[in-house]
Amino acid sequence: MLASATPSVPRVSFWRTFWSNAVMAPRTTLGFMRIDFVLGTIFIIPLTQMVFFAFVVQVGGGGASEIAFTALGNAVATVTYSSVFSVCQTTDSEKQQGTMEHLLVTPANRFALYFGRGILPILISFATVTVGIFYAVTLFGVQVAPGSLPALAGAIALTAFAMVGFGLLLGGVALYLRTSIILANIFLFIGLLLSGVNFPTSQLPPVLQWIGYGFPLTWGLDAIRAAAAGDPLGTVALYYVAVLAAGAISFGAAIGLWEYFEHRAFATGSIARY
C-alpha cells in the first residue's frame, strides 16, 4: 500500500534568495562583467564621455557654466552602462546559458531574486556616478555646495537603484526579444537627448519633455543637480520621492513582465520562440 504522504517543500527564505543571488550573480548572469570591464566603466568611460561633450559644448560657443552643466549631466548619464546595460543583458545570459527554464520552475521569490541580482550593478552604478562627479568637480569646474554631500550621496544612491530597476524592466521586455542589446543601447542614447544630460529639457518640444520624464534618469539627474546646488531639503526630498517612485514602478513593471512571461511559458510549454 502506498502512503499518501505529501512531500514537504522546504520554505525558501526571502533573504536567502536575495543574498545568494547577490553573491552568485557576478559568477553567473553577470559573469560578462570582468574586473577590467568594471574598472573601465567606473574610471575611463565617465572621463572620456565628459571630455567629449565638454569640447562639443566649447565648439558650440558654450561658456564655463554650460560646460559644467554638460559635465555633471554626463557624469550621471554614465550610470546607464552599469545599470541598464549590464542588468538588461542578464536576460540574454539566461537564454545563452540555458538556465531560463530552470529559473522559471524555481519557487524562489521573484523580487528577492531580481533585486539580489541588482545589488552589484547598484554598487557599480553608485561608484561610476561618484567618480564621474569627482571628475566633474576637479576637471570641469562643477560647483558642489558646501554641506550638500549627504544629500548628494542620497540622490546618487536612489538614482542607481532606480536605474537598475529600469534595467530590469528592459530586461523583462527583452524576454520577448532575441537580444536585449538594442533595447539597452536605444535607451542609453535617448537618455543623452531627452533626460537633460547635455542641455536643459526645457529646450526640447513639450512632447519630448514628457517622454523624457518617463525615464528614471531624468528624475535622478534633477535630484542630483538639486542636491549639488544645495537646494533646500524639502525640494531635494521631493526629487527623492520622484526617483524612488520611478525606481519602484520600474521594478514592479519588470516583475510583472517576468510573471507574464512565466505564465506564457507554462501555457505553451516553451520559451524557445523568443
Which residues here bind another protein, judged by CB under 8 A?
34, 36-37, 40-41, 44-45, 48-49, 51-53, 55-62, 70, 179, 181-182, 185-186, 189-190, 192-193, 198-199, 203
CB of 131 to another protein, least distance (A): 14
CB of 32 to another protein, least distance (A): 9
User: 77 vs 223, which CB is nearer to another protein?
Assistant: 77
Task: Compute how many other C-beta atoms are within 10 angstroms of the C-beta atom of residue 182.
Answer: 12
Residues 142 and 188 sit within 8 Å (Cβ to Cβ) = no
How many C-alpha atoms does 17 have within 13 Å on its Cβ side? Answer: 16
CB of 238 to another protein, least distance (A): 28
Residues 121 and 26 sit within 8 Å (Cβ to Cβ) = no
User: 104 vs 181, which CB is nearer to another protein?
Assistant: 181
User: 48 vs 106, which CB is nearer to another protein?
Assistant: 48
User: 53 vs 219, which CB is nearer to another protein?
Assistant: 53
User: 59 vs 207, which CB is nearer to another protein?
Assistant: 59
What b/e string do you get for 54-82 counting C-beta neighbours within 10 Å, with b at 16 or more?
Answer: beebeeeebeeebbbbbbbbbbbbbbbbb
Element (H, E) at 227: helix 216-228
- Reading phi first (left if > 0) and then psi (alpha if -120 to 50, else beta), residue 61 is in left
In 3-state terms the chain splits into helix, strand, coil percentages (rounded to 5) of 75, 0, 25
Q: By CB neighbour count within 10 A (0-12 exposed, 13-18 middle, 19+ buried), where does 254 fall? A: buried
CB of 193 to another protein, least distance (A): 5
CB of 200 to another protein, least distance (A): 10
User: 20 vs 58, which CB is nearer to another protein?
Assistant: 58
CB of 249 to another protein, least distance (A): 25
